[in-house]
Amino acid sequence: MFPPIPRSFLAALIVAIALIPSLPSSIAVPANRPAAGVARAADAPPDRGIAAAASRVAVPDAPADSCQVGVGKTASPSNVEVGQAVRVTLSLRADCPDRPGGARPADIVLALDRSNSQYENGTWPATLAAAATFLSLVDFSRSQVGLVAFGTDARLGALDAELVQPLTADAALALDALDRIPEPPDLGLWTNITAAVETAQAELASARHRPEAQPVLILLSDGGHNALLAGSPQGAANAAKQAGTLIITVGLGVDASASATLTALASRPELYYPAPSVAELEGVMREVAGAVSVPGVLSELVVTDILSSEVELVAGSVEPAPTRIDGDSLIWEIPSLAAAGWSASYLVRPRVPGRYSPNKLAYVDFLDADGEPAGRVFPDPMITVRAPGEAIKVFAPVVYRGYCKPGRPFDVALLLDTSSSMDGEKLDATRAAARAFLGYLDLPPSRAAVLAFNAFASVVQDLSDDRPALLAALDRLPRGAGTRIDFALQEAVAVLSGTGRDPESAAAIVLITDGRHQGDGDGSTVQDVINAAAGARRVATVYTVGIGADVDPQLLTRVAGDPDRYYAAPSPADLVRIYVDIAGALPCGGR
């Protein structure tokens, strides 16, 4: 679903992996400690996404107000001869709360731009009317609403942003507060969107916020951020998103620059709603109200089933027809999941005898009922294939080589595990490999970012084509205990979704770790990583590298989303195999 990554990227990745030395077979991994400010459910069960039995349906635990998602996969008959057809069936279902809206109740802060431009353009009355329409559509039996107004009054020295109404479940009180917002000033200084986001988020983190409610920030502006001495609005928005807030933005008659800013501030690009003029504003706010009361269904599902090289697909047997077939991958794109669920089936013919699964990996990425990216991995059904009585010819698997555009620039986020288990030789080797990786990149036009993760994730160097700055970042990697892979992926998504991203550049994430995501003491589970990976694959092609023998190859394969994008580096001999595999199967650097 992403454009191909340039050949130069994979060549750099090969060089980086090849510099990792042989490592001991046993590597101690310390227990993770909880990350500050991140709440996780206590005593969460282990991940149950992969089932040994072919008929098992895995249903991981989920919050009480989100959907319970189950995936299943079977292969029948399970005992066949070479060449005999086997029907593979995938199934997917979701059980969502049976009540209006179907998703979590919401705590909403509506932040309205009352800057001087609203006065000069005469758009303030329409803004108030559209906000009133939004309030009339809110279900106050399940939701609370607060109001923030932002825009500096040069004559009065008013605050950059002000909480006009704290969160309330009283519709009349919210409407009255809307009427009491002063008109925009006839002389203003600036529009401080950073202050607007921070003020709204402070209210969403206050004692008035209900733990069971989804925090939502809706920001309406008629211009861009121009408070030069204030902090970055993107930084404030990223902090709010990390805290779990869903951000929706509305642009009233804004230019291209402001539109790009508001798109980046939103939790996802589709949650930016442009209103070219006041005539469209009320309709846009009705759409926003619909987006807040998310229906209790899964949406934007992408099912990917990657066939094993030991089987061949029977032409014309896939029902329903996939959206596309990409080499050995069957891909279905489903706008929303029907109440009855979804299923698909196809026929394969085993090529060789043995006991194996007819697929390498099958998974689904989707938006949950609360609008957050999530994913599940289908079980691996096993088949037993017998050799027939006569000698047979074993056909070599077909290697797909699609067209790619060589030499395309890319933005890559390099995620380095800096947990205590990486102390000494491994971290030194990782730094050396990263230096070689950065030295090989074509900077510019490509760019890279350096991120470190342990119990926390941090951006050491943001996207840059400045090679010396990137190399210097490798010498100041923060250290710590723990291995929170989910935090690392979320931080990479924030970097690759920022305002500085060039949409013409391909995006990639390379994650290097020597440990397992255990979440000891903080309730974090493997499912948190799978959900974060589903979000990461929406914005970038993901590669994972496991150093040593104590990694979780199954999890790192799930994170990458394709076995061909997971690389194990336990010894130099394996590195040679990795080089051959990449050179032979991925000549263009992507699928």
Write down the pLDDT at residue 225: 73
**Distance from first CA to last CA of the chain, Å, rounded?**
8
Q: What is the pTM of this model?
A: 0.52
155-185 tens-digit pLDDT: 444 567 889 999 999 999 999 999 888 888 7
pLDDT band at residue 209 under the 50/70/90 scheme: very high
* Alpha carbon 572 to its chain's center: 33
Burial class (CB in 10 A: 0-12, 13-18, 19+), 509: buried
Among 86-90, 251-255, 377-381, name the most confident range: 86-90
| 3-class DSSP assignment, residue 92 | strand
Of 77 and 105, more confident: 77
Domain residue limits, the chain? 7-33+403-585, 57-99+297-381, 106-292
**Superfamily of domain 57-99+297-381, CATH level 4:** Alpha-macroglobulin, receptor-binding domain (2.60.40.690)
Distance CA 555, CA 432 (A): 25
List the Cα angle 262/265/267 in 5-degree steps.
120
Report the percentage of the chain scoring pLDDT > 70: 74
- Each residue of 261-278: pLDDT tens digit? 898 899 888 889 998 888
Q: Taking residues 570-583, what's their average pLDDT?
A: 40
Q: Cβ distance 201 to 217 under 8 Å?
A: yes
Cα gap 437→541, rounded to integer Å: 17
Query: Does residue 46 carry a pLDDT above 50?
Result: no
Per-residue pLDDT of 62-75, as tens digits, reads 444 467 888 889 89
User: CATH number of the domain at 7-33+403-585, please?
Assistant: 3.40.50.410
Q: Between 296 and 157, where is the model more confident?
A: 296
Q: Tens of pLDDT along 347-396?
A: 999 999 888 899 989 999 988 776 678 889 998 888 888 888 533 333 32
Q: Do 186 and 119 meet the contact criterion of CB atoms below 8 Å apart?
A: yes
Q: 106-292: what fold?
A: Rossmann fold (3.40.50)
pLDDT tens-digit series, residues 448-487? 899 998 888 899 999 988 888 998 898 888 888 888 898 9
Question: Quick one: which of 276, 285, 292, 109 has its CA closest to 196?
Answer: 109
Domains 7-33+403-585 and 57-99+297-381 share a fold: no
367 CB contacts (<8 Å, ≥6 apart)?
A: 298, 299, 300, 373, 374
What pLDDT score does 364 carry?
Answer: 93
